[in-house]
Each structure stands twice: as structure tokens, then as C-alpha cells.
Structure 1
């Protein structure tokens, strides 16, 4: 039996991406979920661990979002194997000024962060659009962050407003703009394109400092991944509701 939806999640061998894969598989066993990982062994290990829990519609693919060749190879594999893509979750991300503060000069830190969080998400989206166009209900989800909200950052009563994370916060603001761009140009083709902030979740991204669980962080991303044809598009939200730009 062919899957009702083929889903690619970048950066899914751990953290929020892994939580999304797990919860999506639990709630929708008819979905085929492809765990995207830079490291083949880690991707296969993650898929095998989920299969061992009874979540059998799981596989993996190597995809390094900073490499156009890697993105092209992953796209070619999905096209040859499944013929289409129904859901793309742009989850791969880094937070060098959270986890590795002081390790890199500012320019290098900004360049590395944007290469993954913004340029990588754009390149993967662009590559996957032809596959998504073959879906009856194409959906794209971007894993963003509330620290990228200009409105909330402009509010000095917000404790995150002065957080020393310029690379991460500005990359997420740029990612939100990227999401709106794709939502606009793909709207007439029936695409549902949205962004979600998981919340302050403890993962490897932030050295496991956080107040929420991975399952809580995954909840809204999963909701957006399974939107029906009449679902929203061009939105930025959390599990608690819309977030201000």
C-alpha cells in the first residue's frame, strides 16, 4: 500500500526533528517519514530506533543543507523512490551564539548560522518544489523561533529582547520572511506554507537548557504538517497560537 503522504524532515536524527518524526508516525501511521541527517549512520540509527518502537513507516536519507550536491542527491533519491513529496519540514538549524558563544568571530558565526538556518532552508525548499508540485496537498513547514519576532524583541519587558544571540535571532527573523515569500508565490498552487516556534525546549541546539519537552515542541509542527487543503498558509505560530511578526 502506498503512503498517503511522503514527508521529509531535515535535521531529524535528534532533537525537535526527531520528536516531530516520532509524533507524526504515532498519529499518522499511513505517512512515510524520511529522516534527513548529515550523517548516514546517525540517520539510519534514528530511523531504526523508531522502527523498534513499532513506528515502521520510517526511513532516512543523507542531506546536508549547506551542500547543493547533497540536497540534489537527496531530492533525486526521493524522486526515484517515491515519485513525489507531500510534506517538507525545514527543521535543520544551529545556534552557535547559544551553544558555542565566543568560539567564532562575529562574521564567521553569522555566516555559519545563516548558511544552515536560512540559505539551507531556501535551497532545500527550492529543490523540493517540483516534487511537492506532484502532491495533491503540498505542505511546507519551517521550524522558526519567537526570538525572531521583531514585535516581541522590540518590547524591552521581554527578557529575550536583549539576549546576546544576534546570529540565531536574526536568522529566524530572516527565515520567517523566507516562509512568507514561499507562501505567497505558492499560494495559487495550493501549497500550505507556515512557520512554527517549538518553544524553549531543551535539545542539543541549546545544550539541553529549556523548560519544555520535545513532544511539546513538536506538537504545532506536526499540526502544520498534516493540514488539510483548507488549512492556513503564511502563518507564524506556536502550540499556544499565532505569534506576532
Structure 2
């Protein structure tokens, strides 16, 4: 591996925003993108699909389940052995729980959206600190904004997504905490709101996707472009913040 390449790890990168971001980054010769996924089959398929487009950059897969500490540690060891560092960590893995009770929804949602991101961030910190240009991006949501949740003019006011909203608010605190923890060591951290986009996150299948499009949802490719802008230093002034400019909410 060319040591001059920017090493990017994206969790939950087999679909939606994660996959489109990996696809976009793979078009850049100086990037090596690592697709993080908890399914070997889906991870290898994503690498195959991107590779079939004959990208100028390079791409690989690492098995990582953000709900499993052993899996996270093993992924960090694999990446450390192969690349020696991580330049960019994008905590993208996330869900909207459809569990039958609020307690179950909270547990399932926080486990992936918040706890998983926190443990991944902590575990990969030593690899980020080996980079001279370390960046960590937590893919958040305007639904996690307390001020916007209290704003009756917000189009998502009183959205029935209690567990998801709470998990993203906690993720924003993780951004603040890691900014304080790592900022003086050269690691820049953001919460990035991708806006209202077409993904399978809701778990409602093709019908849900079409409903999102009808309500004005954008392509996840636009979100990927926003993430690239952050990685390329165009949003360094927003480091440590909840970045939403131009992406909805």
C-alpha cells in the first residue's frame, strides 16, 4: 500500500450513505477506502461493485460489527497490521429500530448509533493518532438537535422517532467529548448531518424509499459529497461542531 494514500474507514458502508461515500472516495487516486461491515458477503459484494467501476483509488473490506467489542478490536488489529494508521474514521453505522417497545427500541438504537460509535472511536484512537491529518466524522442527524426539536417551525417537530432522536443527541455529545479529548492532539472531529436522503434506514423497503423521494429526499450521493468536503479540509472551521450547512434541517 502506498504510504501517501489517505486511509479512510467507513462503518456501515455496504449501503446508503456509507456505500455512496466509499464509491465517491474510490474515484480519488490518493485515497484508500476501507468498507466496514458486519457481513462478509455484503462487504465483499460492495468492494466488488466499486471495483467493477475501475476506480482510480483503492478499496478493501474489513469485518466489523459495532455491537461486538471483539469484532471492533479485531478490525483495528487487522487495519493496524496492513496500514499502520487511520487518517479518517467515519462512524456511519446506524439504524432506526422497529422493536415493539420503547425500551427495546432505545437499547437497540443506542447500541449501534451511539455505543458502537463511542467504542469504535476509542478503539481506533491509537491509529488516528499515528496520522498527521486525523479526522473523525460522526454521521448524525438534525433530529438529534435539542434546539430544533423544541422549534415548532421545524418541519420534523414532534417526529415519532424518540429513540433515534435521543441516540443522535448522544452522538453529538460524543463529538464534543472527543473534540475535548483529542483536539489538542491534532484530531479534528465533526457531527455531520447528511440531511433528508433516500436510504433503507427506515427498514420499510422499496415502499418507504419511494415515500421518502415523494417527500423530497435527496440522493445519498449528495451526502457523500458533503463528507468529502469535510475530509478535504473545506469544513475545518466547523470542527467540533454539528455541521448541517447545505444539507437540510
What residue is the counterpart of 1:197 in the other structure?
Answer: 193
Distance 1:155 1:18 in 2: 33
Shift of 1:231: 5.2
TM-score, length-scaled by structure 1: 0.92
What residue is the counterpart of 2:88 in the other structure?
Answer: 87
Distance 1:229 1:199 in 2: 16
The answer as to whether partners of 1:75 and 1:128 remain within 8 angstroms in 2 is yes
The answer as to whether partners of 1:139 and 1:227 remain within 8 angstroms in 2 is no
Shift of 1:238: 2.6
Distance 1:229 1:220 in 2: 9
Larger mean CA deviation between 172-181 and 155-164 belongs to 155-164
Distance 1:13 1:88 in 2: 16
Shift of 1:49: 0.6
What residue is the counterpart of 1:57 in the other structure?
Answer: 58
Aligned match for 1:148, one of 126, 144, 147: 144
Distance 1:3 1:13 in 2: 26
| CA 1:158–1:43: 2 relative to 1, 3 Å | same
Aligned match for 1:175, one of 171, 176, 201: 171
Distance 1:3 1:36 in 2: 21
The answer as to whether partners of 1:89 and 1:225 remain within 8 angstroms in 2 is no
Larger mean CA deviation between 1-10 and 118-127 belongs to 1-10
TM-score, length-scaled by structure 2: 0.90
Q: How many residues align?
A: 237
Larger mean CA deviation between 205-214 and 40-49 belongs to 205-214
1:195-237 Cα shifts (integer Å, max 9, x gaps)? 1111111111024224100111222222222328965420211
In the TM superposition, what are the counterparts of 1:15-164 in structure 2 within 5 Å?
15-26=16-27, 28-55=28-55, 56-96=57-97, 100=98, 103-164=99-160
Q: Does 1:213 align with 2:214?
A: no
Shift of 1:159: 2.7
Unaligned runs of 5+ residues in structure 1 are none
Distance 1:4 1:228 in 2: 19
Shift of 1:4: 2.1
Distance 1:159 1:84 in 2: 41
Shift of 1:54: 1.2
Shift of 1:157: 2.1
Unaligned runs of 5+ residues in structure 2 are none
Shift of 1:52: 0.7
Please provide the CA RMSD for this pair: 1.8
